[in-house]
Amino acid sequence: MKNLKRTIMALLLLAVAAGCKPSRQQQVTEALQKGIAIAADGFKANAAACDTMNRFPRTYENGVLVTVDAYDWTSGFFAGDLWLAYELTGDKELEVAARKYTSQLYEIKDFTGHHDLGFMIYCSYGRQWANFQEPEVLQIIIDAANSLCTRFNPQIGQIRSWDFGEWNYPVIVDNLMNLEMLFFASKMTGDRKYYDVAVKHADTTLENHFRPDGSSYHVVSYNNDGTIESKGTFQGFAHESSWARGQAWTVYGYTMCYRETGDEKYLTHAEHIANYIMNAVQTEDKIPYWDYHDTAIPDVPRDASAAAVTASALLELSTLTKDEEKSQTYVAYAEDILLSLSSPEYMSEEGNGNFLLKHSVSHKPLNSEVDVPLVYADYYYLEAAQRYLSLKK
Ligand code: GLY
């Protein structure tokens, strides 16, 4: 009798414990809510810190907040961070700051000096448009799309990335991320030219930047007749290695191309890349080393920014794939990433220059911004949070 009572008590305790244990979905949601709150406070502090500078926070290194001017490829992410934080909290103070830092980017709508206008304008003005549909904002995005198209060479079928260096016509795989603004411009104007440039760029990248396993070269350079001059890397460990953020841009890019075109080849390719990433990233917490093939692994930095981009991409891919099992795998993988990024190892509750995430890498071969917070890591974490919180579960 005594034993039976003990057993019942033990079972009751177990049941209570099981009932109280939050589900994985609750766990992730709580982690994200915490991240959003920290981000909102930090972004407000940096908005105030840069108030009169006409510059944009990029990173925090050696105790110093590093800011950039409007022409830097990262200039649009701080406004994007503020917009995302506003969208996730409804806090009017964030909207005011987002408007201010977006408006400071006005002049770059006519900039044609490199390919990053999609990042710069679509993450800032694009978000303002998504929230408020103001006609003058739409015109700025269309002007920027026109500027970006000036870098497209129809014979090569690619938008030229950079004007520096020894390459004849360099195109980096990151460039896929600029196409979303072109798809948007076509939808809003009814003019197919932006769509055609985006599709041609995506197709040529698909043909030339990838290895059979789904990994990608960072830089492909072309001769003037469209033949290949070289394939290799600039920001990665080696020409034949997999630079983590490059892999992340590609799964994000082709997922977005499928959303915008409905072309099945983009979906197949995005799934192929996702599969590659999920197999190739060997870390337990799913935050990749900055390059999957650095020969000094495990004694090399992780890249939280690559993880954040991947999580955001996989969450969108989970809503587009037609295979339920794949969908669940993508969500589970993104959840793992988001839980890791929301842990004290990667998320800062104070310090860190008011950025949210620690441990990103910008350009390891140049030893530039290694193991630091980066404004775009925060952007894709918040975008992933937004995508996760709006999943139909
Ligand atoms: N070019 C953007 C990056 O560093 O990922």
Do 118 and 178 meet the contact criterion of CB atoms below 8 Å apart?
yes
Which pTM does this prediction carry? 0.95
Per-residue confidence (pLDDT) for residue 19, from 0 to 100:
61
Whether the ω angle into residue 288 lies within 30 degrees of 0, i.e. cis, is no
Q: Cα(18) to centroid of ligand 1, in Å?
A: 44
Q: Cα(156) to centroid of ligand 1, in Å?
A: 22
- Asked if 196 is an active-site residue, the reply is no
| Stretches in the chain below the pLDDT threshold 70 | 1-19
Say if ligand 1 is within 6 A of residue 174 CB: yes
Per-residue confidence (pLDDT) for residue 261, from 0 to 100:
98
| Closest ligand 1 atom number to CA of residue 249 | 5
Q: Cα(371) to centroid of ligand 1, in Å?
A: 15
- Give the C-alpha separation, 368 to 330, whole Å: 32
**Residue of 68, 73, 119 best suited for mutating to test ligand 1, as the one with most atoms within 8 Å of CB:** 73
Q: Cα(174) to centroid of ligand 1, in Å?
A: 6
Pairing of the two strands 219-222 and 152-153: unpaired
Say if ligand 1 is within 6 A of residue 115 CB: no
Per-residue confidence (pLDDT) for residue 351, from 0 to 100:
86
pLDDT per position as a tens digit, 110-160: 999 999 999 999 999 999 999 999 999 999 999 999 999 999 999 999 999
- Asked if 203 is an active-site residue, the reply is no
Q: Cα(272) to centroid of ligand 1, in Å?
A: 22
| Closest ligand 1 atom number to CA of residue 172 | 1
Per-residue confidence (pLDDT) for residue 349, from 0 to 100:
85
* CA-wise closest residue to 63 among 353, 374, 368: 353
At residue 350, what is the residue type? E
Say if ligand 1 is within 6 A of residue 143 CB: no
| Closest ligand 1 atom number to CA of residue 119 | 2
pLDDT per position as a tens digit, 3-12: 444 543 444 4
Q: Cα(97) to centroid of ligand 1, in Å?
A: 25
Residue-level length of the chain: 393
The residue annotated as part of the active site, out of 41, 51, 72, 174, is: 174
| Closest ligand 1 atom number to CA of residue 116 | 1
Q: Which residue's CA lies nearest to atom 4 of ligand 1?
A: 362
| Closest ligand 1 atom number to CA of residue 305 | 5
Q: Which residue's CA lies nearest to atom 2 of ligand 1?
A: 174
Per-residue confidence (pLDDT) for residue 263, from 0 to 100:
98
The residue annotated as part of the active site, out of 81, 116, 294, 378, is: 116
Say if ligand 1 is within 6 A of residue 245 CB: yes
Per-residue confidence (pLDDT) for residue 17, from 0 to 100:
53
Q: Cα(279) to centroid of ligand 1, in Å?
A: 23
Q: What angle do CA 93, 97, 102 make, to 5 degrees?
A: 145
Say if ligand 1 is within 6 A of residue 303 CB: no
Per-residue confidence (pLDDT) for residue 365, from 0 to 100:
98
